[in-house]
Structure 1
């Protein structure tokens, strides 16, 4: 079992580091990356104007997902009605507010811990599907989708679901969180699968067995065949001798959900005991480098724990204290000590 701070922090900090490493090269081709950073590609965090390596909407929305989960469970205890999906949706509206959109005066939701963190009030190329869906002020669900999008914005934010729920619940909760803004079933399944992988790792499995169990769970769902095949391809490529660049190109660019999770699974399996190697592989390609970096960091960070993430990266990371606090709160929320909701009234 990995129900300790070091692994919860490892998951969220690992994701943030992958996000920060990939952010400067997100819209660059591999050739452009190598031209600017050398043949190995980008390998060091770029320090921004605030003196820290910057994270993007991937980390921001991951934090707000966690806040929504915590509020949902708090509401369930205090009022007897959970409505976790609605609470995550409201958390995403608070994220939208940090992106410069006006508050909706008809909603009494603009409070809590994260909305007070000024470092979150910055736009780092947020996904248009997330922005558009939330601006419409309508919450999507699996049964009532808002659109037909399966952009990776629906999957890069759901690692907290895997930290908060046991595997048997994480898949469906991941799908629910995805459907709030993205309507395509493959996006929902990708988010469910990613949450399931994280939850399985936290239950004590290694990465390989977590992915294998996820494939079994995924195969129970209608229209999952193409995604199952892509993940199996990622597994096979991770065990082969082809270069990272060639393998990732075969899996896609990561702009859509199933490609993003496939790339993350490939990198995490190939470098399961090497956080630095996994992250570097995940961001140095011609695609959505910050999202594939973030998801890879979530997986390998959950597996290895914070202590195995290089200090040269954690010491430079934006929002480090906020991320670790949220990770700790997710851990406390998972426990059965009976009083966690009293400790975090800000949620």
Structure 2
């Protein structure tokens, strides 16, 4: 692996967030459809652009909503750590942000002292119900009922449930924006996911994605970033399913042409280890970023989540300009993503804003 930059590249960071939103919006109308139905409606290679189904053409789902709340909370946590000279508040601030998002889903829970999400709460597309996962909703309801929003109820050491759904990994890319080492990004990805997903296959894939994004934003190639992340996965309790799924994805990528039929042998993407494996397989395929994201969503499973994760990876590697202009212009939350990416780049760069 070449020597990596100390700080994330702003264009790649924007690409990571925007690519995730694009993959989410591209895959949302396909979620749960069989491959035969997808091809009958959209052609052999899946949709060539956004289609007006489910939430509307270019509309994002809870995947992008929670990714953006994750990014915002981590920016605030970093600024707090600089101002106070102490860290450790990020998991609690993440839970506060997620509870703020939960109110936007129309969920009612006891009033409590919490402020999270900042200007994101003014973005209607981020505060409306867009297919939230049951594990995420259930875990956050439990946290809300306890009335200690700043103290994570679900942790790696004390799991909140036994869920290994993909709802933890699909929001974890921003955990790779900051930090001085990939190991710290991996740990933060796991901590962020464990707030709602307690099975190792629910939070370890989030660590993998965070570590990959960390390396990609600093100049790594996809394969090198993946190997770095797999190295941090080794030795983690309960890593078997995630390690095996990634090994299958890498092996499959080297065995022949990348096709939806081959991709589907990795599963449906409903669980964390399947989702990261599908996204990695598509990201390793030949072709441009647009073709690879199309591959990531063209299967009979959780297409928006696998598309979002693949978009995160490819955007972090190639930057926002790698995606078709029509997709960049047509994704629902483009301006909010650009504003948030600028905040993240400033906070994670060499000259973070003055917090006084």
For 1:185-224, list aligned pairs within 5 A. 185-224=200-239
Instruction: Determine if contact 2:346/2:352 at 8 Å carries over to the other structure.
Output: no
Say if 2:108 is the partner of 1:93: no
Distance in 1 (alpha carbons) for counterparts of 2:24 and 2:354: 30
Instruction: Give the deviation of 1:340 after TM superposition.
Output: 5.0
- Please give the root-mean-square deviation of Cα atoms over the aligned residues, in Å: 1.9
Say if 2:135 is the partner of 1:120: no
TM-score (norm. length: structure 1):
0.93
Which residue of structure 1 aligns with residue 149 of structure 2?
none
For 1:38-187, list aligned pairs within 5 A. 38-47=43-52, 53-82=58-87, 83-102=89-108, 104-109=110-115, 112-137=118-143, 139-165=153-179, 166-187=181-202
Structure 2 unmatched ranges of 5 or more:
147-152
Instruction: Give the deviation of 1:308 after TM superposition.
Output: 1.6
Higher mean displacement: 237-246 or 333-342: 333-342
Instruction: Determine if contact 1:178/1:188 at 8 Å carries over to the other structure.
Output: yes
Say if 2:46 is the partner of 1:31: no
Instruction: Give the deviation of 1:243 after TM superposition.
Output: 4.4
Say if 2:342 is the partner of 1:328: yes
Distance in 2 (alpha carbons) for counterparts of 1:67 and 1:251: 32
Higher mean displacement: 115-124 or 208-217: 115-124
- 2:271 is aligned, of 232, 239, 256, to 256
- 2:310 is aligned, of 287, 296, 300, to 296
SS of 2:265's equivalent? Answer: helix
Distance in 1 (alpha carbons) for counterparts of 2:23 and 2:113: 34
Higher mean displacement: 27-36 or 107-116: 107-116
TM-score (norm. length: structure 2):
0.91
Structure 1 unmatched ranges of 5 or more:
343-347
Instruction: Tell me the alpha carbon deviations over residues 185-233 of structure 1, each in whole angstroms, 9 at most, x when there is no partner.
Output: 1212111111111111112110011111211211121222332222111
Instruction: Determine if contact 1:333/1:341 at 8 Å carries over to the other structure.
Output: no
Cα pair distance change 1:50/1:130, threshold 3 Å: closer
Say if 2:29 is the partner of 1:14: no
The total of aligned residue pairs comes to: 341
Cα pair distance change 1:203/1:30, threshold 3 Å: same
Instruction: Determine if contact 2:33/2:301 at 8 Å carries over to the other structure.
Output: yes
Say if 2:291 is the partner of 1:277: yes
Instruction: Determine if contact 1:332/1:340 at 8 Å carries over to the other structure.
Output: no
Instruction: Give the deviation of 1:75 after TM superposition.
Output: 2.3
Distance in 1 (alpha carbons) for counterparts of 2:214 and 2:311: 15
Distance in 2 (alpha carbons) for counterparts of 1:189 and 1:118: 31
Cα pair distance change 1:47/1:227, threshold 3 Å: same
Instruction: Give the deviation of 1:52 after TM superposition.
Output: 5.2
Instruction: Give the deviation of 1:47 after TM superposition.
Output: 4.1
Distance in 1 (alpha carbons) for counterparts of 2:355 and 2:325: 32
Which residue of structure 1 aligns with residue 150 of structure 2?
none
Distance in 1 (alpha carbons) for counterparts of 2:326 and 2:76: 34
Instruction: Determine if contact 1:239/1:270 at 8 Å carries over to the other structure.
Output: no
SS of 2:106's equivalent? Answer: coil
Instruction: Tell me the alpha carbon deviations over residues 243-266 of structure 1, each in whole angstroms, 9 at most, x when there is no partner.
Output: 422321221110000000000000
